[in-house]
A and B are shown apart, each in its own frame.
Chain A
Amino acid sequence: MVWFMVRLYCFLSMRVALFVTCLTDQFYAEAGVAAVKLLRSLGCEVAFPKAQTCCGQPAYNAGYWKEARQMADHTLEVFAEAEYVVLPSGSCTTMVRAFYPELYRDTPKTFEKADALSRKTFELAEFIVKVLGITKLGQGLEGQRIAYHHGCHALRELGIKNEPLALLKNAGAEIVDWEAAMECCGFGGLFSVKLPEVALSMADRKLQTLPPVDYLTSADGGCMLHLSGRIENRKLNVPVKPLATVLWEASQVKEATRAG
């Protein structure tokens, strides 16, 4: 009964605006679809504000704060009315949540808007665990050996670490012990093309330490493009799957769903 009430409450009140992010939109579209299906299956009403573009992170990280502010202004407007904003990306979540307020620290009026958006913005796995209070999606990952790459921004700026791991493990996955799991892969936005040799050397360190796995997953499109590009170039046999896709798959086998 309590569960039913929770679900009913959830169904009636959780209105999520999906900020799909430009990389997911363009390169991991299926992960965006998975995020929508997953959120709906958990009782959320999902909207996709069509005016959304890029959060501005590449410009911000490269030092172009004026341009980053233009994109942030745009994003603030697009999501002003949203109840929750959920992103299938750790670093874009960090941009909105941690760096937007930073960008406006000298303009109190916009800072307030940025602060308001910051407070309702969540990375997908984090949203499921912290806001929806769900730690078990299903049993769909039973027997799978998975490497989880922690995106640096989500891990160190936002402290998101256990949420994705819990969702994966509780769905039956084995998260392999990976020495470099929490090390940067070398993507770093423009870093990856400004200093490509260093960036690739960093990717190699990640891949050299990677134990045998069924696939690698991460909540960050940039890291995945970089790592999978390197994997293919090196002719390694490591599939890379976005976290949203994996979590959707996790939820597809519903045995004992409510045990967690």
Chain B
Amino acid sequence: MQVKANDYPKESARVLREEPGVRESVTAATLNFDGKRRQMYAEVDSEEWRDFAEGVKNHVLSNLGTYLTQAEAALQRNGVQVHWAEDAEAAQRIVADIAKANQVQRVVKAKTMVSEELGINPMLEGLGMEVLETDLGEYIIQLLDQPPSHIIGPAIHLSLEQIRKLFHERFDTPPEAAPELLAATARKLLREGFLKADMGISGGNFLVAETGTLALIENEGNIRLSTSAPRIHVALVGLEKLLPRFSDLSVFLSLTARAATGQRLGTFVSLIQGPRRAGESDGPEEVHVVLVDNGRSSVLADREAWETLRCVRCGACLNACPVYRQTGGHAYGYVYSGPIGAILAPGLVGLENTKPLPYASSLCGACFQACPVRIPIPKLLLTWRNRAVEQGLQPQLEAAAIKGYAAAMTRPWAYNLGSRALRMLPKEALDNTVLPVVKAWTEGRAGIKPSPKSFRELWDEGI
């Protein structure tokens, strides 16, 4: 996927200016998710569940080599073909080779973010294959040729009106069609797709090292169909998705559903144990698992950022984030948006390509409170900011201003001088657009008014 994260400041402003409906749709959807998440956390001892989940993930990440080897062996025992993809190019080549070897013409996709990360759809289409997204939200944005705007709700930036209009234009549904009719229309089209497809591509929520079980959570049934109806199933799985034991799923499946959508469990949970066996009436003939690195091992080696890899891609931090709510995900210019995207993107594709993202946060901490695996997102946002400064990626003017400010603030006489000067400035200086910082402030906010006398003056006069 093309990374346009450096445009975030411009893009976020543009979305707010030109697409005000996005803020409305995204705010409504995320507040709804976040409210349900709170309810579902409150229902259990979520602190204990999160302690457990954090501990398991830390253990896996600390022993990743061991568990990857174990997972590979278990998958192979189950008859699954295992592939290793160091980067996006390798992953594309692996998927292309599987497709070509099996004369694949039609591909159905279960919702998978890693596939977006790896650019699988354009690659397959480039080979002349037909690719159909089967998650309803993904299907809608595929029709619109847009990337997902949220990890689990790819079309939450759209209003019902927009979807009605799209379906009316494409499928001739009535202009005022009820959501149920829109869903039924999509379902009919998607069913045909499932029946005709040669290959299904999915991601994976979890991969159990002990048993080689691939776990997938969903609500629409499209993942189950995508992974069982076509002849070939290819699962793209990030290295960090491993769990040691089958029993770990008991917490992770429910915790992820609670965090993501505020459900106790996804409507469908598929535990895939390999291809169709002798005597079984359905299931794919071949199952391939592609273990994807694509920058993850360098994140793992990072003394601070490694904790990012605990992420289960539930989207809870996006739902909790007041910054994300204003613009939705497209403004971030990367497949993973919101708070998790802001700390994952610099690790996966480089800070120089994503430098505004760690700054796309007011550091309010709501993400950390929501995270089921307790990734210290605010702390890592600060870490990436500090790195941006250390690497000289921030504007020179800003760096100079901060230096000057620190110099003044470590010299009380300079501070006092500044305090007096602030009160002698002409009103226009703080009210208008002389300084860039003041300009950025006053466009949309009334000018800054210092107290007539500073506190220290009042103290000196006697309180």
Distance of A195 from chain B, by nearest CB (Å): 6
Residues of B within 8 A of A53 (CB): 408-410, 412, 415
Q: Could you give, for residues 41-56 of chain A, a 1 whenever the CB lies within 8 Å of some chain B CB and a 0 otherwise? A: 0000000101111101
CB <8 Å contact, B448 and A67: no
Contact of B13 with A by CB under 8 A: yes
Contact of A192 with B by CB under 8 A: yes
CB <8 Å contact, B458 and A29: yes
CB <8 Å contact, B458 and A32: yes
Q: Could you give, for residues 25-51 of chain A, a 1 whenever the CB lies within 8 Å of some chain B CB and a 0 otherwise? A: 111111011001100000000001011
How far, in angstroms, from A52 to B459 measured CA to CA in the complex? Answer: 13
Given contacts A33-B463, A64-B406, A201-B23, contact A191 B453 (CB under 8 A): no
How far, in angstroms, from A73 to B406 measured CA to CA in the complex? Answer: 11
CB <8 Å contact, B406 and A27: no
CB <8 Å contact, A67 and B403: yes
How far, in angstroms, from A205 to B363 measured CA to CA in the complex? Answer: 17
Residues of B within 8 A of A230 (CB): 444-446
CB <8 Å contact, B445 and A188: no
Chain A binding surface SS class: helix
CB <8 Å contact, B412 and A50: yes
How far, in angstroms, from A58 to B323 measured CA to CA in the complex? Answer: 19
Distance of A171 from chain B, by nearest CB (Å): 22
Given contacts A63-B382, A196-B443, contact A183 B399 (CB under 8 A): no
Q: Which of A152-211 contact B (CB under 8 A)?
A: 152-153, 155-157, 183-184, 186-189, 191-202, 205
Distance of B135 from chain A, by nearest CB (Å): 28
Contact of B394 with A by CB under 8 A: yes
Given contacts A63-B386, A67-B406, contact A229 B322 (CB under 8 A): no
Q: Which of B407-453 contact A (CB under 8 A)?
A: 408-410, 412, 415, 419, 422, 437, 440-441, 443-453
Contact of B306 with A by CB under 8 A: no
Residues of B within 8 A of A225 (CB): 448
Given contacts A53-B412, A71-B406, contact A63 B364 (CB under 8 A): no
CB <8 Å contact, B368 and A56: no
Of the listed stretches B218-226, B248-256, B354-362, name the one at the interface; the rest are far from the partner chain: B354-362
Q: Could you give, for residues 386-409 of chain B, a 1 whenever the CB lies within 8 Å of some chain A CB and a 0 otherwise? A: 111100001000110011011011
Q: Which of A36, A48, A197, A231 has the most chain B CB within a 10 Å cutoff?
A: A197
CB <8 Å contact, B385 and A25: no
Q: Number of residues in A with C-beta < 8 Å to the partner? A: 67
Q: Which of A183, A188, A201, A225 has the most chain B CB within a 10 Å cutoff?
A: A201
CB <8 Å contact, B444 and A195: no
Given contacts A233-B444, A233-B446, contact A197 B409 (CB under 8 A): no
CB <8 Å contact, B364 and A156: yes
For A51, give its contact among B364, B412, B458 (CB under 8 Å). B412
How far, in angstroms, from A243 to B269 measured CA to CA in the complex? Answer: 50
For A193, give its contact among B358, B379, B440 (CB under 8 Å). B440
Contact of A226 with B by CB under 8 A: yes
CB <8 Å contact, A228 and B463: no
Residues of A within 8 A of B444 (CB): 196-197, 200, 230, 233
CB <8 Å contact, A197 and B16: yes
Contact of A253 with B by CB under 8 A: no
How far, in angstroms, from A233 to B441 measured CA to CA in the complex? Answer: 11
Contact of B17 with A by CB under 8 A: yes
CB <8 Å contact, A152 and B455: no
CB <8 Å contact, B451 and A29: yes
Residues of A within 8 A of B359 (CB): 62, 191, 194-195
CB <8 Å contact, B448 and A63: no
Contact of B170 with A by CB under 8 A: no
For A27, give its contact among B322, B384, B451 (CB under 8 Å). B451
For B445, give its contact among A30, A32, A52, A233 (CB under 8 Å). A233
Contact of A10 with B by CB under 8 A: no
Contact of B188 with A by CB under 8 A: no
CB <8 Å contact, B9 and A194: yes
How far, in angstroms, from A200 to B445 measured CA to CA in the complex? Answer: 8
Residues of B within 8 A of A54 (CB): 405, 409, 415
CB <8 Å contact, B323 and A202: yes
Given contacts A198-B326, A202-B322, contact A152 B362 (CB under 8 A): yes
Contact of B119 with A by CB under 8 A: no
Distance of B413 from chain A, by nearest CB (Å): 10
How far, in angstroms, from A24 to B368 measured CA to CA in the complex? Answer: 29
Contact of B366 with A by CB under 8 A: yes
Contact of B12 with A by CB under 8 A: yes
Contact of B327 with A by CB under 8 A: yes
How far, in angstroms, from A68 to B458 measured CA to CA in the complex? Answer: 28
Residue of B nearest to A102 (CB): B379
Interface residue ranges, B against A (CB under 8 Å): 9, 12-13, 16-17, 23, 27, 322-323, 325-327, 358-366, 368-369, 379, 382, 384-389, 394, 398-399, 402-403, 405-406, 408-410, 412, 415, 419, 422, 437, 440-441, 443-459, 463
Interface residue ranges, A against B (CB under 8 Å): 20, 22, 24-30, 32-33, 36-37, 48, 50-54, 56, 58-65, 67-68, 70-71, 73-74, 102, 152-153, 155-157, 183-184, 186-189, 191-202, 205, 225-226, 228-233
The 3 A-B pairs with the shortest beta carbon distances in the complex, nearest first, are A188-B362, A63-B385, A229-B445
